[in-house]
A and B are shown apart, each in its own frame.
Chain A
Amino acid sequence: MSAKLYLYPGWLRLWHFSNAILCLILIVTGLSMQYTTQGDSMISFQLAVSLHNICGVIFVFNYVIYFIGNMVTTNGKFYWRNWGGFFKQAITQSRYYLYGNFKGESCPFQVNEEVKFNPLQKIAYVAIMYVMVPLVMLSGIAMLYPDIIIPELNGISGMFLTDLAHIISGFVISIFLLIHIYFCTFGTSATSNFKSIVSGYHD
């Protein structure tokens, strides 16, 4: 029986849980606003706007906690260290997901105290948490205070460009969420990773 690793400290689990709830509300209300219809909407436009705004603001504060947490604790190292030989490692990990896993091979990158993420997880988390999330937040803040948006850029409405950035980054995050949930089933059992993010201990 292998020893359990304490990889998810309390603050991170709390952040992760609230972030997940907020993301779900933001996706549902965002879709509701974008595809609203007259009369028979699942959520009223006004409620969707209010919920989206409130959750968006909490989401930003939550991100600040995550960002500072990653700076002052050891959690940040999992994102930024060990990038040497990334492409080769990413190919090895991809091969495992597409082939090796079906052949009963074990994951080429085992979780330990120094490496929490495999190369594909690492690139995905960095892209989402340090590119897409800031983009969705900045464009969201701009739309919450539309007066700060430049009226036009090269003849295109600034509001339109901001909204486009918000919708596209929001969509990418939604797709990430699906993939993230599925890949969490790749643990010692299909549910072990879900249990880990609740208990804090990696199996």
Chain B
Amino acid sequence: MSINKVNNGLKIFSIIVGINLVLILSYSFSHSNEPVQEEKEEMVRHEENTNCFKCHGENKYTMYNADSSSTITKLMPRELFIDTLEFYDGTHKTFKCSDCHSDEYNSVPHNPELRFDPMPGCIDCHGGDPEYEEYKFEQIDEQFQNSVHSKAHTDNFACWDCHDAHSYKSTARADNGIKDMVAYNNAMCLKCHANTINYMLLSDEENPDLIAKHEWLPNQTQHFKKVRCIECHTSVSDSVLVAHEVMPKDKAIKGCTECHSKNTRLNHTLYKFKAAERRDKNGFFNGAILEESFVIGANRNIYLNYGSIAIFILVLGGILIHAILRIIIKKKKNHVG
């Protein structure tokens, strides 16, 4: 009898294991097709730019001199190297190199004169295009023209000095989380402001030590990880999603309560997109911030506020009533006595 029971149990167990195996295998099979399709698409894109990436996608390149029948191998300078993985993950992944660069680059070695060709900026392609109206490129351009970057540097300073055309991707509207957006955005600033050589290319002044300059900021590491440089260094803009008017350093925000208060600036900067999507959440002011962080002063819960005030009033009221009764009774007793 007990052996039969064991056998039945084993049968049921085998059936359950079998069903699970089928489900796991079918899931794996259905998902194993996806990378193949993606790979195929990537291959198509690869082929269009293969010639360029043969050199610019590698850390080194080889040149052949037909006259002397000799070859030389050189390191690809970092500023001319294109990370192909980042390129095909970027916003402009469907572009051919020649969409932005001259066809004359097809001849090798490249003509040095080509370096003087003006490069198209964002506005050159996206300006006036109704398809990109929501991005408000015209207003971004206007803000950039008013920014300290545009005013303090030469005319050569353009969009691509911050946004790498080859790897650029929009993070402000993506659902990757604030942490990734902060890291991606701050890396743009640090490319020059934390790199002496890159900074030197744009300015003759000494590159300020960012850590020392921000010594006044409590919990500096947390601030650097949780918010973008532009939260304090740009003027708040309601017209565009990401403010581009970088202010001179003496106008940077230094007041804690700009962010640490109910009317937090972060709702108009870092959390603008999320805040617009989701207003107050579960009674929390500035609820969008709660999904990623907690900002003292900005995140308050209306229910906790009312609850704590109610408890405080009840306790204080109870104490007062008790105290008054004690005094009255004591006086009565003294009077009688």
Interface residues of A (CB under 8 A from B): 33-39, 41, 44-46, 49, 97, 101-102, 104, 146-147, 157, 159-160, 162-163, 167, 171, 175, 178-179, 182, 185
Contacts and interface: CB of A to CB of B under 8 A. Distances in A.
Interface string B255-283: 11110111100000000000000000000
Contacts of B326: 101-102
Contact of A179 (B257, B294, B315): B315
Given A147-B221, A179-B315, A182-B319, A160 B299 contact: yes
Given A159-B294, A175-B311, A36 B261 contact: yes
B323 A157 contact: no
A37 B294 contact: no
A45 B294 contact: no
B308 A102 contact: no
A37 B262 contact: yes
A182 B323 contact: yes
B329 interface: yes
B291 A157 contact: yes
Contact of B290 (A102, A157, A171, A179): A157
Contacts of A44: 256
Interface string B309-322: 00110011001001
Contact of B308 (A39, A162, A171): A171
Contacts of B311: 171, 175
Contacts of B323: 182, 185
Contacts of B329: 102
A162 B294 CA distance: 9
A55 B312 CA distance: 24
B222 A178 contact: no
Given A37-B261, A37-B262, A160-B290, A45 B325 contact: no
Interface of B: 218-219, 221-222, 255-258, 260-263, 290-294, 296-297, 299-300, 304, 308, 311-312, 315-316, 319, 322-323, 325-326, 329, 333
Interface of A is mostly: helix
Contacts of A159: 293-294
Nearest to A33: B296
Given A160-B299, A171-B308, A182-B319, A46 B256 contact: yes
B294 A175 contact: no
A38 B316 contact: no
Interface of B is mostly: helix
Closest 7 CB pairs of A and B: A45-B256, A160-B294, A159-B294, A36-B297, A182-B319, A38-B257, A45-B257
A40 B322 CA distance: 37
A102 B219 CA distance: 54
Contacts of A97: 322
Contacts of A163: 294, 296, 299
Contacts of B299: 160, 163
Nearest to B297: A36
A179 B261 contact: no
A159 B294 CA distance: 6
A39 B257 CA distance: 8
B319 A178 contact: yes
A41 B300 contact: no
Nearest to B216: A46
7 contacts: A33-B297, A38-B258, A44-B256, A45-B255, A101-B326, A157-B292, A159-B293
A49 B218 contact: yes
Nearest to B219: A146
Nearest to B316: A178
B319 A37 contact: no
Contacts of B308: 171
A162 B299 CA distance: 13
B284 to A, nearest CB: 9
A175 B260 contact: no
Contacts of A182: 319, 322-323
A37 B221 contact: no
B236 to A, nearest CB: 13
Given A146-B219, A146-B222, A33 B260 contact: yes
A178 B261 contact: no
